[in-house]
Amino acid sequence: MNERLSNIKLFYRILTISIFVILAIRFAQLQLFNWDQYFRESEKNRIREVILESPRGMVYDRNGEILIDNRPAYSVSVVPYEFLQADSSVTLLSSILDQSPNAIKSKINKEASRFRPVKIKRQISFATLSHIEEFRLDLPGVFYSIESKRFYPAGIRAPHLFGYLGEIDSKELKYRKDSGYRMGDLIGKKGLELQYEKYLRGEPGVKYVEVDALGREIRVLEELSTESPTPGENLYLTLDANLQRHLEGAMDGKRGAAVVLDPRNGEILAMVSKPDYDPKTFSKPITTKLWKKLVNNEGKPLYNRACQSVYPPGSTFKLVLAAAGVETGLINPQEKILCRGAYRLGRRLFRCWKEGGHGDVNLTEAIEQSCNVYFFTRSLEVGLENWCEFAKLFRFGKLTGLDLPNESTGTVPDSHYLDRKFGKKGWTRGLILNLSVGQGDLLATPLQMAYLAMILGNEGLGFRPHLLKKHVDPTTGVEVVQEVKSRRVQGISSKTFRLVKLGMYMVVNGQRGTGRAAWIPKVKVCGKTGTAQNPHGEDHAWFIGFAPQENPEIAFCIMVENAGSGGAIAAPIARGMLSKYFDKRQKFALK
């Protein structure tokens, strides 16, 4: 009996010693070997990393007028480890922010770290901020910070150029994982905000603050290194704010686009797409209801008609056929064609826009009066392949290289295209007649047509259209000027260009010119009207051109959807724009 009792005592003695040995080893492991790791974890409960948002770069026009500025706004963030300790905190914050608890938890769960702040809602009102302060003790781990929102002081809409900001999504975050972005950060989504995100964004800073058990800030820890945010670079655009405002007003209430270029360097002086929307719409978080309203709007205000929409260019494209015919020798510029108001091909009549006909016209007269019959006749002599070759020389069917996302190439229907669509020998010469006057499957953007006007005005020299003039570091003052890239059209002589330019001069200045509504005093304006048939409604009105005739300073395209005659609708808009530009130039010259 005594021996059994002795064995039991020995067992418990060994068990007790073993437990203390295990505890000692574990204590040594925690306090000695893994001290750094657990100290850092405990510090996370005491020290909060606060991200300091970097001011986004501002945007100016070519003359230094502010187009896009920043204004302060409050945003709410939470530290998941502190905030999720009690469901009551989630319920309370959801009622203050008018968000569902599940929506808040969903945002939090997207962040991998439980100690890194997660942005829950941005641009809260002062009243909401006051509610959060009022319930501070019941909202551990909740804090607010100041960030910037976009502001547009110039009264210019141009949302298709400016673009907008939005929260980075998981796909973008994965793509930019090495660029320092975090969930909840703002990033450029469209337009220049997206195109030049790398310049505009800047680099965020960081500071460290000590917090109590309720997540309230006690003091800034000066002993820990604080990094100040680096502001984004400022963009100086090629836009002329006055010209942009004028064209936006002239195009208001219409559907269409206007593009104005400096043919000496490819700088875009103005670019308008209508209908549009107020850029302030996206300077604050957009609701699902408003987004659906914009997307489903029949006017397609989110779409940039200047460089994304493609249209049949109508009679403006007769200039390409003229250049192709003269350069290949298949058109004698002096030879006249009799226009009686229609051209017969087989059993079909292809009508001229002037019912009684234009009589005998040569090349320049045909351009001046936009005679369809002349170009119908010449198109069969020039042929589809020559026409396509010269259309591509002018970069139709290709990107111009504009520094905006999602530019369209348009379509130049060559024989391979027509074979695919209609089958071999499934298309007739009537298609060539339609193409010669800018109809059929030929499609171009207003930007491409302005580019054509630039090349014709410069007699073969084109520049890549661009919106960025330079970007400037606001802290150092260092500026980087945008490289100007030029292209010269090969295979077209100066003589050919001069013949086409003469015809364009007569369009505006000749007695029978279809574009006389674009005439302004003291400036030799050259242009070409177009009235493109539209199977879905009224004709599209076109007018392209440049001025002056020699050494042009401005090239442009005006296109108004479903408006009718280019000479009656688009040309007067061009006249107003040209008057605005040259009046300003003359005022500066007098100073």
Sheet containing strand 205-211, edge to edge, reads 47-52, 205-211, 217-220
Q: How far is CA 513 from CA 356, 517, 526, 567, in A?
A: 17, 9, 11, 9
Q: How far apart are CA 513 and CA 500, in angstroms?
A: 14
With the C-alpha atoms ordered 236, 241, 247, 251, is the resulting torsion angle positive or negative?
Answer: positive
Pair type for strands 461-463 and 486-488: antiparallel
Coil, strand or helix: which one is 214?
coil
> Which is nearest to 389 in space by CA: 327, 335, 314?
327
Q: How far apart are CA 303 and CA 202, in angstroms?
A: 28
DSSP states of 83-137? HTT-HHHHHHHHHHHT--HHHHHHHHHT-S-SSS-EEEEEEE-HHHHHHHHHTGG
User: Are the CB atoms for 468 and 235 separated by under 8 Å?
Assistant: yes
User: Are the CB atoms for 374 and 339 separated by under 8 Å?
Assistant: yes
User: Are the CB atoms for 183 and 173 separated by under 8 Å?
Assistant: yes
User: Are the CB atoms for 75 and 123 separated by under 8 Å?
Assistant: yes
What ranges make up the beta strands (E) of 185-229? 186-188, 205-211, 217-220
Is 315 a residue of the active site? yes
DSSP state of 518: G
For residue 176, count other CB atoms closer than 10 A to its CB: 14
User: Are the CB atoms for 473 and 200 separated by under 8 Å?
Assistant: no
Q: How far apart are CA 559 and CA 570, in angstroms?
A: 6
**Catalytic option among 77, 89, 148, 315:** 315
Give the active site residues.
315
